[in-house]
Amino acid sequence: MRIGGILDISTIDFPGKLCSVVFLSTCPFRCPYCHNYELLFNWKEVSVEEIVKAVEKNYLVDGVCVTGGEPFHQDVLKLLEKLKEVKAVKVDTNGYYPERLKKALNFIDYVAIDLKTSPEKYSELTGRGDSWDRVEKSIEVLSNSEVEWEIRTTAIPGIVWEEELKRIREVLNDLNVKTKLVLQQFRNEKVLDSNLKKIQPPSVKELRALALKYGYNTVRCGEGEFKV
Ligand code: SF4
């Protein structure tokens, strides 16, 4: 597997669980606000067995979060199957691989999927012309599954803001999505496109107001996560 590294313990990456975090490298998208961008270009090859061994022997955690990059950008099925034998498994995905996601659901306890912007602006933001159609399919896969899941949107002033959030609300209504909806705070310390460093992160007050207005039920920011 192409991997960036493994974090031994996280309290924030798996709701209700202490988890280790496996960072898988590479991703089909190029979001300008990507804060894990070194994973897009750098990796080491590590076998499934080595990753599972490292996670299994960590007795302090009861879960593992497989994140990226984009986990489904490589063949991750075997890894998820083996991890599920030793820990509860969460996957963070950008939704670009609905078929792979569907096949993997038996080995996943929790999915966090990005809904990054309005359908009309998806290509521009991600750099992939077919991105929205595929993300929409992934949301449908999750809506029709039994797995616990959440949708995450990062609020970025001037980029993913009122106009885009209003459109996302319409999409969620059309898709009849009823799950945890998380509005995340944009952070500017580490971003793929350095122009975004000039954008100030929204305040918690602004985030909360946007969440209330556009039907997000959770806000996630530097201080943690809370319901609105
Ligand atoms: S989908 Fe995630 S990992 Fe990929 S470029 Fe966008 S923010 Fe970065």
Strands 2-10 and 44-45: antiparallel
Centre of ligand 1 from the C-alpha of residue 58, in Å:
27
pLDDT of residue 218: 97
Closest ligand 1 atom number to CA of residue 30 = 5
Query: Which sequence spans correspond to the domains of the chain?
Result: 2-227
24 lines ligand 1 (CB under 6 A): no
Report CA(33)–ligand 1 centroid distance (Å). Answer: 8
- The alpha-carbon radius of gyration of the chain (Å, integer) is 17
Residuewise pLDDT in 10s, the chain (228 residues): 999 999 999 999 999 999 999 999 999 999 999 999 999 999 999 999 999 999 999 999 999 999 999 999 999 999 999 999 999 999 999 999 999 999 999 999 999 999 999 999 999 999 999 999 999 999 999 999 999 999 999 999 999 999 999 999 999 999 999 999 999 999 999 999 999 999 999 999 999 999 999 999 999 998 889 999
Q: What is this structure's pTM?
A: 0.97
Q: Report the separation in Å between the CA atom of 157 and the middle of ligand 1, taken as the mean of its atom positions.
A: 18
Long-range contact set of residues 168-175: C-beta below 8 Å, sequence gap at least 24? 168/115, 168/117, 168/118, 168/214, 169/214, 169/215, 171/115, 171/118, 171/119, 171/136, 172/115, 172/215, 175/136, 175/139, 175/140, 175/143
**pLDDT of amino acid 222:** 87
- The DSSP H or E segment spanning 90 is strand 88-93
Interval between CA 31 and ligand 1 midpoint (Å): 5
Say which CATH class 2-227 falls into.
alpha beta
User: How many CB atoms within 10 Å of residue 17?
Assistant: 18
21, 24, 73, 94: residue to mutate for ligand 1 pocket, most atoms within 8 A of CB = 94
pLDDT reported for residue 223: 85
Tell me the best of 3, 23, 27 to mutate to test the pocket of ligand 1, counting ligand atoms within 8 Å of each CB and taking the most.
27
Angle at 130 between CA 149 and CA 30, to 5 degrees: 75
How far is C-alpha 152 from the chain's CA centre? 7
Which residue is closest in CA terms to ligand 1's atom 7? 34
Q: If you measure from the C-alpha of residue 39 to the centroid of ligand 1, how many angstroms do you get, rounded to a whole number? A: 9
